[in-house]
Every structure is written in C-alpha cells, then in structure tokens.
Amino acid sequence: MTEISARTLFCLYRDTVARATSAILSKSDDEIAYDLFEEFDVGTHSFLHDESLARLHRAGLLSADGVSLSRQLRARWLALQEDHDWSIAEIRTHPAWQDLFAPGDAIMQRLGAA
C-alpha cells in the first residue's frame, strides 16, 4: 500500500478543519449534519490524529501552534460525542459548539482561509 504524500495529507487535513469552523452555522441543517457527523467525524480520526499532525509538522506544513490547535479541536470533538445526541438547533446555539469552532477558526485564519 502506498502512503499518501505530505501535501495530499495537508489538503485532507485542511478540508477536515474547514468543516468545523463557525462558518458552518450559515449552512442548512442538512449541510451542518453532513459536514460534522459524516465528513468531519471521519477526518478527525484520520487527519487530526497525532501521527498525521506529527507528519505534517515534520514536513513543515503545520506549525507547532497548528498542531496544538488541531489537538484541541480533536479533543473537543471527541468530548462532544460522549455527551449526547446533539440537535442542529443545539449546534447553532450551545456554547460547547462555539468552543469547538474556536480552534477551527484559528487554524483556518492561520492558513489564510479565514
């Protein structure tokens, strides 16, 4: 099996993070559900995993600050999944979701895609 390039991994990482920013709140309920519970959930386990983050850092594609923010984003997502089944209305209004989106917003701003 061939390993994906660091550049491809970075693109997948960036796509994953972009799905968990405050910008998601302007989307439809169906888009929010899909982005978070389908795409972001899978990406969190793959592209925000410590091994992926370390590889991106070693390749010079992700700063130490970016690694730290990514770890925060992943940890907050995993914690939210333990609590209960969230409604889209709760995602739009509950402070815990704003806490999730904060590192995503910060990462995307640092990547120049605010």
Q: Could you tell me if residue 1 is inside a domain?
A: no
| Cβ 16 vs Cβ 43: under 8 Å | yes
Total domains in the fold of the chain: 1
Tell me the pLDDT tens digit for each residue of 66-110.
999 999 999 999 999 986 789 999 999 999 999 999 999 999 999
Give the pTM.
0.91
Q: Could you tell me if residue 95 is inside a domain?
A: yes
Q: Could you tell me if residue 104 is inside a domain?
A: yes
Domain hosting residue 95, numbered range? 6-110
Tell me the pLDDT tens digit for each residue of 24-43.
999 999 999 999 999 999 99
For residues 23 and 98, what is the distance between their CA atoms, to the nearest angstrom?
11
